């Protein structure tokens, strides 16, 4: 059974996930209130070019750290997608820069939702960082699922501020939703790859690009989890529309070692040189798994990694991010 949703709010509208979500929501006939920090034309031009945008896309400025700034955008909406959140792997990034906006921003958005009688459901986009960050590496025998929670004490000690921001923002969201009667669903996508609709290289595709061009690792074990952007967007829409959707959902299409990623890239694109350090290390590596059972209850059929990889490489080539 589907819920009737006609007007929705999307925060962080100019980003990778939100841009795709807005495009497909417009295609489905939704009216969208989309928030950005700055209404500068360079940030929103691609959104205004989507089919249906002229008639049904309304842009609002809002700041995660300003308590009531989301009120105008959320007022009158039946559904809210909270996607906006800071992210950075820069060594100079601080706890205050990442954790404070993530937690306060989530609470400010939910505060606006609590005041709007029209809101029926809120979808918060979190990350597997809030699910599977542990002190000890996950073993090949383990299967990660929605009952897992990351170790926030270890994240604090390791100064993993991106991870901590996701953990604390999710904790705050569940607490506030419970206290204020908000119907909340939290989605946990992993590294999201796929074609880019906005003009700049987004964070997750940049991680993928660094891996295939330079062999630059962000995972100490070399084990990566990826999901296709189109699967993530489908999950968002289903999480809003399906009455039965509830709780947390892990969104992981594939778990794979970096050497296998590069092997696939090398086979599909012989002209792209595989980073030298991997040429003698393309053996099969056992990886853990992440359960897809609950995600599939939303009707999600995950895109094969080969298809995702080919589509993202073609996009990176077309946009001149990949030099061949």
Residues with a known catalytic role: 166
Q: Whole-angstrom Cα distance, residue 296 to residue 299?
A: 5
Q: Whole-angstrom Cα distance, residue 59 to residue 70?
A: 12
Are 69 and 62 a contacting pair, CB within 8 Å? yes
Q: Whole-angstrom Cα distance, residue 210 to residue 320?
A: 14
Q: Whole-angstrom Cα distance, residue 220 to residue 93?
A: 19
> What burial letters (b/e) apply to 66-79, b meaning 16+ CB within 10 Å?
eeebbbbbbbebbb
Instruction: Report the 10 Å Cβ neighbour count for 50.
Output: 19
Which residues contact residue 214 at a Cβ distance below 8 angstroms, ignoring those fewer than 6 apart?
Answer: 275
Long-range pairs for 199-204: beta carbons < 8 A, 24 or more residues apart: 199/42, 199/45, 199/46, 201/319, 201/321, 202/15, 202/16, 203/16, 203/87, 204/16
Q: Report the run of H or E that residue 214 belongs to, with start and end.
A: helix 203-214
Angle between helices 95-115 and 161-180 (to 10 degrees): 20
Residue 147 DSSP SS3: coil
Q: Report the 3 state secondary structure along 54-93.
A: HHHEEEEECCCCCCCCCHHHHCCCCEEEECCCCCCCCCCC
Q: Whole-angstrom Cα distance, residue 316 to residue 313?
A: 5
Strands 143-144 and 223-228: unpaired
């Amino acid at each position: 059974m589907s819920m009737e949703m006609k007007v929705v709010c999307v925060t962080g509208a100019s980003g990778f996930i939100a841009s795709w979500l807005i495009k497909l929501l417009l295609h489905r006939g939704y009216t969208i209130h989309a928030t950005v920090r700055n209404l500068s034309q360079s940030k929103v031009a691609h959104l205004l070019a989507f089919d249906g945008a002229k008639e049904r896309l309304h842009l609002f400025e809002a700041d995660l750290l300003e308590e009531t700034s989301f009120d105008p955008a959320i007022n009158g909406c039946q559904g809210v997608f909270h996607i906006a959140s800071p992210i950075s792997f820069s060594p100079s990034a601080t706890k205050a820069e990442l954790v404070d906006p993530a937690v306060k921003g989530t609470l400010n958005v939910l505060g606006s939702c609590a005041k709007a009688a029209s809101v029926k459901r809120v979808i918060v986009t979190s990350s597997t960082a809030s699910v599977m960050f542990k002190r000890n590496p996950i073993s090949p025998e383990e299967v990660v699922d929605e009952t897992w929670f990351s170790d926030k004490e270890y994240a604090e000690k390791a100064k993993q501020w991106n991870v901590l921001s996701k953990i604390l923002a999710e904790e705050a969201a569940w607490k506030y939703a419970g206290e204020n009667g908000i119907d909340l669903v939290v989605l946990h996508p992993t590294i999201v790859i796929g074609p880019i609709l906005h003009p700049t290289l987004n964070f997750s595709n940049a991680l993928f690009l660094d891996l295939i061009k330079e062999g630059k690792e962000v995972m100490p074990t070399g084990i990566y989890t990826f999901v296709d952007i189109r699967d993530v967007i489908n999950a968002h829409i289903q999480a809003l529309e399906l009455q039965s959707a509830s709780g947390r959902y892990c969104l992981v299409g594939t778990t794979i070692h970096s050497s296998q990623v590069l092997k696939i890239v090398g086979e599909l694109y012989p002209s792209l040189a595989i980073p030298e350090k991997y040429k003698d290390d393309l053996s099969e590596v056992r990886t853990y798994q992440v359960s897809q059972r609950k995600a599939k209850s939303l009707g999600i059929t995950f895109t094969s990694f080969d298809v995702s990889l080919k589509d993202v490489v073609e996009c990176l080539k077309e946009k001149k991010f990949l030099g061949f």
